[in-house]
Chains A and B, each alone.
Chain A
Amino acid sequence: MLVEIDESGVGLGISHAGRLLLDYRPGGGQRVQHDAAQLVSRQLTRLRRFCERQFTFVRGDIAQVFLCGESSEVQAACRSLQQGSQIAADVLDPRQVKSDWEFDSSYDGDPRYLGALGAALYAQSEAASGDAPDLMNELRKQVRLPIRPMLTRLAAPLAAVVALAILVGAASAWQRMQCSMLDSQLASLEPEQDAVRMMQLEMTDAEQKLTHLKKIAGAVSTPQWQDLLVSVGTSLPEDTWLDTLMVDRDGRVAISGPSHNEDSIYEFVSRLKKAPMLRDVALESTQPISTSSGSATKFDVKARLVLARSETQEENKHEG
């Protein structure tokens, strides 16, 4: 127990293992200053009960009273306590404690003072550091809440975001790996693909050219001249000859020649009309001529050649 007696009254404190467990100033002010010993004796039982209830972690009893303050009152109170109670009492003047004190292993003084002297030295060093000594610092440090649970709660959202980012990053890396695999597969197919494309291009070109060549082939034709010749030749009656047979690029046919018999000319025209290669057969003119074998009639027959289907269609289109 620490007892400080000054002009404002008496202050009581309970210290254990260098820690100030409580700081207590009973009422009464200057009045109790003269009877500090009685006050301590009166408060002792109450303080013991309080300490037992509040500081369950402390084992032991209040065994030592250190007094400090105004020397006359302190000395008187110390004597009264030494005489009137079973508790040890001593005076400790903190002003006499020097900050450069050191206790070596050969110290053989009363060990009861060591704790109090150490605490006083510590308080002095705190005071020397600048601010007024705060005896609660150590206690505060001890009872400070552990950082981990709060830190865990605070950092949980942050950790969740980081974890999510790592997951997304891993997924992204997996996707990248897949892409790389697909890339290599595509690259391996590329030569074959190029070959196929080249083939498709060639085939398209070939199809295009083939289409146009077919169109040209369908539009042009070489008539079966020999059939026309046979057809005209076999249609000629016996006394009729052929001088010219002409077909122009539009399919117009002109047949001319002499005949000794005018009826034969009509017979010839009639036969030509039946010829499958000719249409629109018409006798244009007849004219009397003289030949080496006697008088004759020169005829001019016009007709149209029946052309290939495509050409006929073209012709009809033009005529239309």
Chain B
Amino acid sequence: MKVEPILRMWVDSPKRWWIAIIGTVLVALIVLQPAVDDYTAQAARRDELTDSLRVARQEVDTRERLVVLAGERQRELSEYEQKAFSPDEVQRLRNQLVQLVRESGCQMRHIRVVEPVSRPWMKEDHPLEANKQTDPAAATPFELRTQQLSLSLTGSVAEIAQFLRKLSENDRLMHATSFQLQRSSTDGKTAILQLELVLFDLAKAAQAAT
């Protein structure tokens, strides 16, 4: 098919300018507009990627500082976690108390640890109060685990004082709920000490942990 006769027909046509204008508009719509759309989309994507890259570099640049900071925070957390009473720690404390009683010259009458009780730990909460908050927004991913320990021992007041001094050196998450010192009825020189402690632990709530 020869092109020249068609071109000649176009050139000779009295509506040649209209044909040129319509052709131009059609080409602009079919070719130019999609090309401009594509360019705009690519330019927008490039801007977005540039921003993402800048943010990513900033994030990566903070890594060293973050490592130091995370280390410090982890160390501080470990110190506090060591003060809390996990089930293993409760057992360890029990053994430690038996040892303290012995070292102080006292005699252990009994030591009893009851089953732990857990409750959700809220944002504005107090470990010695019952939780009255039900708002899920106030919840934290943790639960407060409390375990009661009661202890009874006999000894001279000086020996009991020594035991109490050693116990107070134990800077842990425990709270004394009851203290009772009574003169022994059998022997006027010895006393009986009954002590009740509540031991605390903060653990990930089962739901949050999953």
Contacts and interface: CB of A to CB of B under 8 A. Distances in A.
Contact of A220 (B20, B60, B127): B127
Contact of A246 (B19, B20, B80, B179): B179
A212 B142 CA distance: 9
6 contacts: A182-B46, A203-B70, A203-B73, A223-B168, A242-B183, A244-B181
B165 interface: yes
Interface residues of A, number: 66
B138 interface: no
Interface string A184-221: 01100110110111011011001111101111110111
Interface of B: 4, 7-8, 10-11, 16-17, 19-21, 23-24, 27-28, 31-32, 35-36, 38-39, 42-43, 45-46, 49-50, 52-53, 56-57, 59-60, 62-63, 66-67, 69-70, 73-74, 76-77, 80-81, 83-84, 121, 125-128, 140-142, 144, 157, 160-162, 164-165, 167-168, 170, 173-183, 195-198, 200, 202
A6 B28 CA distance: 62
Contact of B32 (A161, A185, A200, A226): A161
Q: Is the interface of B mostly helix, strand, loop or mixed?
A: helix
B49 A182 contact: yes
A184 B127 CA distance: 51
B66 A213 contact: no
Q: Is the interface of A mostly helix, strand, loop or mixed?
A: helix
A175 B46 contact: yes
Contacts of A172: 35, 38-39, 42
A169 interface: yes
A179 interface: yes
A171 interface: yes
A310 to B, nearest CB: 10
Nearest to B185: A243
A179 B181 CA distance: 78
A88 interface: no
Contacts of A242: 181, 183
A249 B196 CA distance: 9
A289 interface: no
Contacts of B7: 147, 151
Contacts of A56: none
A168 B38 CA distance: 9
Nearest to A243: B183
